[in-house]
Amino acid sequence: MQTRFRRVAVAVAVSAMLPLALTACSDSDSKDKAADSSSSGASSEKSDASSPSDDMGTMSEPFGPACSSVPKDGAGSFDGMAKDPVATAASNNPALSTLVSAVKKAGLVDTLNNAKDITVFAPTNDAFAKIPKADLDKVLADKAQLTKILTYHVVGKKLAPKDLEKGSFETLEKSKLTTSGSGESYKVNDSANVVCGNVKTANANVYIIDSVLMPKK
């Protein structure tokens, strides 16, 4: 009789403890899943947070030794030039005053400002100064010749630095110019160096160069 009573007591005790054990196990599993979910979420958030910096790393900024002379703020700064069409933007950059004067003499201000998605290779004042004064004055007085030279500096599409590595492009003057180089060092027609590249205006990409390009006659 006592033996039967002990067996019944043990069975009752086991029955009472089993649900508690299952509950504890279930609670433990839930906590583990919650921890895994939290860890996964944190990892996902960390991955998402790194995406913008990755994008920033691929953005291309103006480059070249002459970029340091561009005003830091105002209409002639990089931010200021980006808001204006190319002829207007160039007029706000002191280093391009001779080019702007030539564009005005040729009557090309509206042509350049109204063009869409172009690239302009813009000679600096020093580039024009390389031309003997008598020759430069003669060109500036000949509207047809001046227009031919200036339109030779314009390509009818936007060119990124990568496009210049080994390029050949038709200009608005209808003949071709060539580009070569890599990284932050590029040449145009093997005669002009890009001294400040990838400058953005409202309708153009601008590459400031240290020599005036001459189309083939």
Question: Domain-by-domain residue ranges, the chain?
Answer: 1-59, 65-209
| CATH no. of 65-209 | 2.30.180.10
70 by DSSP, 3-state: which?
A: coil
Q: What is the pLDDT of residue 11?
A: 46
pLDDT in tens, the chain (217 residues): 444 444 444 444 444 444 444 444 445 454 454 445 444 444 444 344 333 333 333 347 999 999 998 989 999 999 999 999 999 999 999 999 999 999 999 999 999 999 999 999 999 999 999 999 999 999 999 999 999 999 999 999 999 999 999 999 999 999 999 999 999 999 999 999 999 999 999 999 999 999 999 998 7
Minimal CA–CA distance to 142: which of 169, 102, 92? Answer: 102
Report how far apart, in Å, the C-alpha atoms of 61 and of each of 40, 83, 194 are: 36, 16, 14
Burial 34-59 (b: 16+ CB within 10 A, else e): eeeeeeeeeeeeeeeeeeeeeeeeee
